[in-house]
Amino acid sequence: MVSISVRQISQDFGGNIALEQVDLDIHDGEFFSLLGPSGCGKTTLLNIIAGFLEPTTGSVFINGDDVTNLPPYKRKIGMVFQNYALFPHLTVFDNVAYGLKVKKLSKKEVRRKVEESLALVQLEAFQERMPKQLSGGQQQRVAIARALAIEPSVLLLDEPLSNLDANLRKDMQTELRLLQKRIGITTVLVTHDQEEALSLSDRIGVLGQGHIRQIGSPLDVYRKPENEFVAGFIGQVNLLSVKKVASETDDNKTVYQAENFTMSENEPLKLAMNKGSELEETTSLMMLRPERIRVVAESLNELYNSCKVTVVQVSYIGSSVRLTVKLQGKGEMLILVPDPVFHVPPEPEQVITIAWNKEDLILINQEETSS
């Protein structure tokens, strides 16, 4: 199996810097996702790894070998694109056989490898069909079989599921993950879909404006974002700018007051964290995920981590109810409550009390450059 390393890669498209000094190590057999908003440089980085694009500066290593100057066909990569890129005039068999015939393998070898690859994606029975006689999901499976037929060292996937409808996409995600685990091939997926990256990957590299903003497991990037960009891009988030209140901090808790949330005109929202979990700075940014906030009994009269709010908007999204609420002084928060919690969801204008635990508050680094 094979690892990929990217060292100090920059890409300058005539003054438009798509990537800047990117370093990245993708481990042997790993499912790694490059995740980020449109235009952040994901596809550029994948194309550089594939060899379709020569970087302005920097090097790419596959299994320790410097492949920066090798053409794509010498890098032993399998690539799957968003639009499948099947040859419309060739049967499923011939599409999958294409790369093998280019390699001038014997007819017998070609047949064996095509059949093996189609079996991997469970399309053995479809060999004689033309691409237009297949569903979108089946076409994408043919594209995956074609990529795997040449027995590549690494599999590179550029938004391969984004043309599929929501249900099929979920099924294909599961299939893709199982297939990747079964054959153990080092895989890099480009996606802008956070849920896809979180559910499929061993690790995720979050890209923003040509820089890697964080590399970590799905759990790490969601629960412990290293900066504001990652906190804001992955999932929904309430961000509070906070200032430490030394006079109320004691052995059990560190107390902060929010600058952008107030309970009434002169009363800042107070937040308490477990002692020891704080950063050095006295002012910082704090993250509170919407699903960590609870709607509680009105009688709760806590000094910290709770406040009265007015419901502004209610959206029923099936598995949960999403509430936008307004504090009685300043600031709006987003709350996600699992559906069964409410017999009847709250109505706009209703006043409710919300609360969260000390552990639900996460301090994150302020960035020098925000995007």
Residues forming contacts to ligand ATP in the complex (CB under 6 A) are 13, 16, 18, 36, 38-44, 192
For strands 65-66 and 306-316, give the pairing: unpaired
CB of 290 to ligand ATP, least distance (A): 25
- Using CB atoms within 10 Å of the CB of residue 238, give its burial: 0 to 12 exposed, 13 to 18 middle, 19+ buried: buried
CB of 9 to ligand ATP, least distance (A): 12
- Whose Cβ is closer to ligand ATP: residue 192's or residue 253's? 192
- Whose Cβ is closer to ligand ATP: residue 192's or residue 213's? 192
CA dist., res. 268 & res. 58, Å (int):
49
Q: Are 49 and 60 in contact (CB under 8 A)?
A: yes
Q: Are 137 and 174 in contact (CB under 8 A)?
A: no
- Whose Cβ is closer to ligand ATP: residue 247's or residue 369's? 369
CB of 247 to ligand ATP, least distance (A): 47
- Whose Cβ is closer to ligand ATP: residue 29's or residue 37's? 37
Q: Are 59 and 122 in contact (CB under 8 A)?
A: no
For strands 31-35 and 186-191, give the pairing: parallel
CB of 371 to ligand ATP, least distance (A): 13
CB of 37 to ligand ATP, least distance (A): 7
Q: What is the DSSP letter of 106?
A: -
For the chain, what is the radius of gyration of the CA atoms? Answer: 25
- Whose Cβ is closer to ligand ATP: residue 44's or residue 227's? 44
Give me 316's structure tokens: 């029923």
